[in-house]
Amino acid sequence: MWKWKALKEREDGSLRPSAFRRGVVSSRAASLQLSNAKEFISLHRGAINSLEGDAAEGRYLLSAASDGTVAVFDTDTRHGHGHGHGHGHPLFHLSRAHKFAVSRALWYPVDTGLFITASFDHYVKLWDTNSTQVVLDYKLPAKVYGIAMSSIATSHTLIATATADVQVRLCDLASGAFSHTLSGHRDGVMSVEWSSSTEFVLITGGCDGAIRFWDIRRPGTFLLLDQSLSQLGTRPPLLPSPSNNESTSLPTSSKSSSSTPILPAQKRTSHKKIQLKPPTQWSHPGMASSQNRATAHYGAVNGLRATADGFYLLSSGSDSRLRLWDIESGRNTLVNYEAMSIQASKPIQLAVTPDSSLVFVPCMASLKAYDLWSGTTINSYRGHYESVNCCFFNAQDQELYTGSNDRQILVWAPSIPAATQIEEADSEGGITSIDQDNWSD
């Protein structure tokens, strides 16, 4: 009954509205469970590989499956469908979007007029949502594992592609051609992510276990994450303005080494944005070969997710580890996420709540929620019958959508219902009346 107390405090003015909102949202996010009222009727006849909600309205869910189909769902069941068990039928279902499995589908970050799909048939296609027709397509040299578009980009419209090829290609929507080819990985690239603080920084994770940072304005890798370089403790998620500017030149020369024990509570005081000033001579393009071989995971890096504030990067690997990286220092924060097993063969999609408190990780047939900063398991969501491939956290409704090899898209809704839903539940008492005890003896 914290809610009533908090309400009272908010009325008094002792609790700020934003803090109140945060409290409600985080408590809802922490209490997710399988929703009985809302469901998406998946017409896919294959594993769901990707789920993506749109950034513009936070309402439409794009799903892609390995049978080459793509569908769009309306997550808001309140409009048009009336109450009760959500209809959940797709708004449209493209049965022959690609020849082979669609590995990833993305909304155009600006609006829902376009979406992009990537497939194992080597193609990346740009679709018009309203006519459901292909506007543009790119033929890549190998299977496409993942694509990414920067949600904060204002000066470019580039799609970064992760393919089985060693090179990362950037497709320019403006010209319809490849604008960049980034070489550096020694094996196929499984995952790709744009920095959420700078529009020119691209992060890629490869099958060789390396996570590389690229500045698309310059050639070569400017940062390569190394799992053996670590720092204890993390910065607070929300920080005051940077106090001092320290040189960012070398991760190796950074003084916050693991040798000096720092308590987790003791926050580092030095903060800075990623500075894209000209890197030092050795760091690129021909990095010292010893540096150039650093790995972030033992095995393929199959999932990458940057936190919304752009300071941290989460990576998952086929070694069944989840690592939290401090982007600025390029070091492993050594947060120990409790036991998990991550499927090795496919790229997976991680989800982080906007306030960077929870991370959702597909762990085989279940999905686990971890506290981002401590690594403790908050919850384990069981419901799928086969490996979960992707999850998407709908920040607006605090709902979680998961897609799995068993062809289902599940909705995990907060068990703390909104006020309107309580009334609805009362009104539909007629239906629930069947579900009662029935003791004959």
Partner 1 sequence: MAGEESGLETESGMVAWRLIEPATNSTEPDVDPRLLKAIKSAVRSSDVETRAAVRCLMDLMKKPHSQVRYLSLLIIDELFMRSKLFRTIFVETFDQFLALSVGFRKNMPLPPPSTIASNLRKKSIEFLEKWHSNFGIHYRQLRLGFEYLKNVLKYQFPNNLENAARLQRERRERELKTQEILLGKFENLKENFSSIKGEINSTIDEINECLDIINVNQKELNPPIDFSLGDDEMEGFSSLEMRQIRIDSMKEAETVHETVDNEAVFDTLRELHKLLVLKHLVSVQEWISVLIRVELADNRFRDTALKEMIDLRNNIQSAKDKLVAIGCSFDKGKKVQLEEEEDIWEEGKIENIPQKSVQRKGKTVVSSSTSSNGISDSHNKTQNSKLDPERSKLLAEAPLVNWGPLLDNWGSNSDTVANQRGLEIEGHWGRVDHDRIIPQEKIAELSVHRMVYKEDPVEIKPCLAPLKNGTLCQRRDLKVCPFHGPIIPRNSKGNPIENCNEPMVNRSEDYVDGETLEKLAKQAVNNVRKRERDEREIKRAKLARVTEHNQEVLRESAMASTSYSEDLVQSRGEFKTKKPTLASMLKKKVTAKDRIAKKLL
Q: Which residues bind partner 1 (CB under 8 A)?
A: 34-36, 39, 85, 365, 382-386, 406-408, 410, 431-432, 434-441
Residue 41 CB, nearest approach to partner 1 (Å): 10
Closest CB 434 distance from partner 1, rounded Å: 8
- Mapped to the 3 state alphabet, what secondary structure does 282-296 carry? HHCCCCCCCHHHCCC
Residue type, 346: K
CA gyration radius, the chain: 22
3-state secondary structure of 272: coil
- When the beta carbons of 295 and 379 are compared against partner 1, the nearer one is 379
CB of 367 to partner 1, least distance (A): 12
What is the distance between the alpha carbons of residues 231 and 221, in angstroms, rounded to a whole number?
22
- Nearest approach in angstroms of CB 359 to partner 1 is 23
The distance of closest approach from Cβ of residue 60 to partner 1 in the complex, given in angstroms and rounded to an integer, is: 22
- Neighbouring CB atoms inside 10 A of 150's CB total 23
CA separation for the pair 338, 357 (Å, rounded)? 16
Closer CB to partner 1, residue 12 or residue 437?
A: 437
HEC per residue, 331-371:
EECCCCCCCCCCCCCCCCCCEECCCCCEEEEEECCEEEEEE
DSSP state of 11: H
| Amino acid at the residue 285 | P
Nearer to partner 1, 361 or 410 (CB): 410
Residue 5: what residue type? K
With CA atoms as reference, report the closest residue to 102 among 40, 139, 149, 145.
145
> Which C-beta is closer to partner 1: that of 147 or that of 400?
400
Nearer to partner 1, 212 or 368 (CB): 368
Nearer to partner 1 among residue 2 and residue 385 (C-beta): 385
Closer by beta carbon to partner 1, 38 or else 271? 38
Take residue 279 and report the two structure tokens written for it. 């890197």
User: CB of residue 143 vs partner 1: minimum separation in angstroms?
Assistant: 24
CB of 382 to partner 1, least distance (A): 6
Rounded to whole angstroms, the Cα distance separating 232 from 81 reads: 51
Work out how close the CB of 430 gets to partner 1 at its nearest, in angstroms, rounded to a whole number.
12
Q: Give the relative orientation of helices 17-29 and 2-12 as an angle to the nearest 10 degrees.
A: 170
Residue entry with tokens 């992510």: 193
Q: Could you tell me if 49 and 66 are in contact, meaning their C-beta atoms sit under 8 angstroms apart?
A: yes
Closer CB to partner 1, residue 8 or residue 85?
A: 85
Residue type, 320: S
